[in-house]
Structure 1
Amino acid sequence: MANRMKATILDVAQRAGVSKSTVSLVLQGSPLVRPETASRVRAAIEEVGYVYNRGAANLRKAHSNVVGMIINDLTNPFFAELAVDIERVFQSAGLVSFLANTAENPVRQEEVVKSFMEQGVSGLIVSPAHGTRPDAFERIRGSGLPVLFVMRRLPGSRVPVVAPDNHQGAFVGTRHLIGKGHRRIAFLGGFPDMVVYHQRVGGYKAALAAAGIEVDDALIVEADTNRKGGMGALETALARDPQISAALCFNDAVAFGAMIRLRKRGLEPGQDFAIVGFDDVAEAQHYVPALTSVAVDTAGLGERAAHMMLNMIRGGTTHAEDHIGAVNLMVRASCGPELSKGRAA
């Protein structure tokens, strides 16, 4: 018996060839671990004689005041601002938030989720990484742990979400460019396997159709949702059609990248080419030229997400109503004056 009590979770992990976090998840009965891996861990537990103090573990879990925040890209200032607004509410409520950046890597995201589960978090707020499986969080939610998506939803997922009105935002941004006289308008950034991409592209197409402008799919350019992606997308769009005079961008980061590339081509944003972003991060109004952007109520969305999670935790439920926040267009210099009739033709 003495030898059995000396066995540790590390002994089990080494015998099974897995991490300590994976062993902890198996001991907790977590649905995150693949059945074959769980069987290997249970066999290792028997072999090394490890004894799990379930009572102590349950006591720790019952008093957890920790919420995990998993963000897809903290280098994007919008998500950094959102995380701060969420954390502010948790701090006031006496909860501690663990924050992780997945850098749009679903493998890293899975590792972070496992680690947070091993720490016994009371809930997860997630902005899913690009490439996340549609069912990635269904088993977690099915285990009774509250999960809430922010900004992004997954196709077919039942996880509640807090997000802006992406379709309407793209519609008003595109309509503004059309009102400036532009007819060859590109959409830059994002990928078709993202729900938000379809929502924003849908708004872009709807605005074109409402103005009687034929949609040209060649002007919709897929790209990473960061500055580098914006630079490449702008090049691709102009290579496909040099007559493009404006672009609606997936987000402000893409817009900043597009403006950098315009200058490298000898074109001045706001004078030679009009740009509209999406999110209206703090940098947008200070950029040169100041960026016209679809404004998202970052603070409002962050506060709503935090309060929804608090209500789910306190109510012992995984269910909540989706919240879609209003948007509005902040008009600045990046769209310039009205396009001349000669260029608009």
Structure 2
Amino acid sequence: MITIRDVSKYASVSVATVSRVINGSRWVSDETRKKVLAAMKELGYQPNSFARSLATNKSQTVGMVVGDLSGPFFGEMMQSAEQIVRMADKHLIITSSHGTVESESEAIEFLLQRRVDVLILHLDAMPDDKLIELCEQLRIPVVIVNRLVPTMEEQCISIDNELGGYIATKHLLEQGHRSIACIAGPIYKSDSRSRLNGYRRALMEAGVDYNEHLIVESDYTEEGGKAAVKELQERNLSYSAIFAHNDHMAIGAMGWLKSEGVSVPNDVSIIGYDDIIMARYVEPSLTSVIIPVSEFGRQAGLMALRLSGEQQDNVVLRFKPELVIRNSTCRYGR
């Protein structure tokens, strides 16, 4: 078995120099570093990751908490974060929180027990004050994804969800719709509250009264979208358009309406949010607000590396949502 002493002898340097190269120390000349790396390659030497972590007091791992391990939203985010982290020869450890304060706390504790160097957190249930308190107590850096937390703005990768709700609703208003229903996500989630605020602002600017009976709270799933639009029908209210807080609910609502003989978009226009890959393939294709989910993961990975001491390019902290117009919306009365 090849040891660090074999490498030092082969490269004609000290064991301490080989150790500094393995641990990424800057106190080694480029020429010496190349010579040591060449010796390691020639001899087939693989540094012991556990020993390396003891020497540097770092595990070379990044922990990530997401709401769910399934679905395109979190899948894209996890994949792009993992790619960035792996490029730095580190590993990403991922666990899910299932959307309660208790489970989010347990997920964080699970990662801390594995001595991760940085945490990337996508949390929905934990309130801002508790999250701020938690991060002040932790001894490792934290990156917050898809959320803007007061006093922690420089650690947050987020999007302007209020603006997203505004531009979605404004698009429907510009198409002549005045009775616009809203299928909201869980109101305890900050992104859902922000999108609802944007919806209300657009209505107010257009001089349209806000009608709370046109709002149905749901759960961001396709089945939730079906249940929500069914509830709207049971309320016996007139509406010509629906703004759903994510694409899954929009697609669910669209499917239920079509099964009831309602034409989309001729009878009811529908707009979603997230622009998941499925949005362009459903019939009719779904108008949606674009969230750069992959970029969320990528920027979170870059931020995590920067906070752990790796030199990185500038990180984009705040994104602006954009609207992609497809066939699920049209002018009122077309």
Same fold (TM over 0.5): yes
List gaps (5 residues or longer) in structure 2. 1-50
Shift of 1:122: 0.8
Paired with 2:248 and 2:151, the residues of 1 have a C-alpha distance of 27
Candidates 324, 328, 338, aligned match of 2:331: 338
Candidates 150, 165, 176, aligned match of 1:181: 176
**CA 1:340–1:280 in 2, change beyond 3 Å: closer, same or farther?**
same
Aligned residues of 1:161 and 1:322 also touching (Cα < 8 A): no
Q: Does 1:313 align with 2:308?
A: yes
Paired with 2:91 and 2:146, the residues of 1 have a C-alpha distance of 22
Candidates 279, 288, 291, aligned match of 1:284: 279
Counterpart of 1:15? none
Counterpart of 2:60? 65
Q: Does 1:196 align with 2:221?
A: no
SS at match of 1:290: coil
Counterpart of 1:264? 259
List gaps (5 residues or longer) in structure 1. 1-55
Q: Does 1:297 align with 2:289?
A: no
Matched letter for residue 98 of structure 2: A
Structure 1 window deviating more from structure 2 (112-121 vs 254-263): it is 254-263
Percent sequence identity over aligned pairs: 28
Matched letter for residue 339 of structure 1: Y
Paired with 2:132 and 2:104, the residues of 1 have a C-alpha distance of 11
1:191-215 deviation per Cα after TM superposition (whole angstroms, max 9, x unaligned): 3322212211111111111111111
Paired with 1:128 and 1:136, the residues of 2 have a C-alpha distance of 9
SS at match of 1:314: coil
Matched letter for residue 146 of structure 2: M
SS at match of 2:65: strand
Matched letter for residue 122 of structure 2: S
Paired with 2:171 and 2:134, the residues of 1 have a C-alpha distance of 43
SS at match of 1:272: coil
Candidates 186, 195, 201, aligned match of 1:206: 201
**CA 1:152–1:229 in 2, change beyond 3 Å: closer, same or farther?**
farther
Shift of 1:107: 3.1
1:111-139 deviation per Cα after TM superposition (whole angstroms, max 9, x unaligned): 2222111110011111114x324404633
Q: Does 1:109 align with 2:104?
A: yes
Paired with 1:140 and 1:80, the residues of 2 have a C-alpha distance of 25
Counterpart of 2:27? none
Paired with 1:301 and 1:315, the residues of 2 have a C-alpha distance of 19
Paired with 1:276 and 1:192, the residues of 2 have a C-alpha distance of 19
Shift of 1:285: 0.8
Paired with 1:239 and 1:326, the residues of 2 have a C-alpha distance of 36
Shift of 1:184: 0.8
**CA 1:282–1:226 in 2, change beyond 3 Å: closer, same or farther?**
same
Counterpart of 1:6? none
Counterpart of 1:17? none
Aligned residues of 1:231 and 1:257 also touching (Cα < 8 A): yes
Paired with 1:73 and 1:254, the residues of 2 have a C-alpha distance of 16
Paired with 1:304 and 1:95, the residues of 2 have a C-alpha distance of 16
1:253-306 deviation per Cα after TM superposition (whole angstroms, max 9, x unaligned): 121221122123222322321111111111111112111000122233222221
Paired with 1:162 and 1:304, the residues of 2 have a C-alpha distance of 7
Shift of 1:66: 0.8
SS at match of 2:95: strand
Q: Does 1:78 align with 2:76?
A: no
Q: Does 1:231 align with 2:208?
A: no
Paired with 1:142 and 1:322, the residues of 2 have a C-alpha distance of 26
Larger radius of gyration: 2
Counterpart of 2:89? 94
Aligned residues of 1:189 and 1:233 also touching (Cα < 8 A): no
SS at match of 1:233: helix
Paired with 2:242 and 2:271, the residues of 1 have a C-alpha distance of 6
1:145-168 deviation per Cα after TM superposition (whole angstroms, max 9, x unaligned): 1111211356x5747321212111
Counterpart of 1:148? 143
**CA 1:121–1:137 in 2, change beyond 3 Å: closer, same or farther?**
farther
Aligned residues of 2:53 and 2:59 also touching (Cα < 8 A): no
Aligned residues of 2:299 and 2:316 also touching (Cα < 8 A): no
Matched letter for residue 331 of structure 2: E
Counterpart of 2:157? 162
For these two proteins, the number of residue pairs brought into alignment is 280
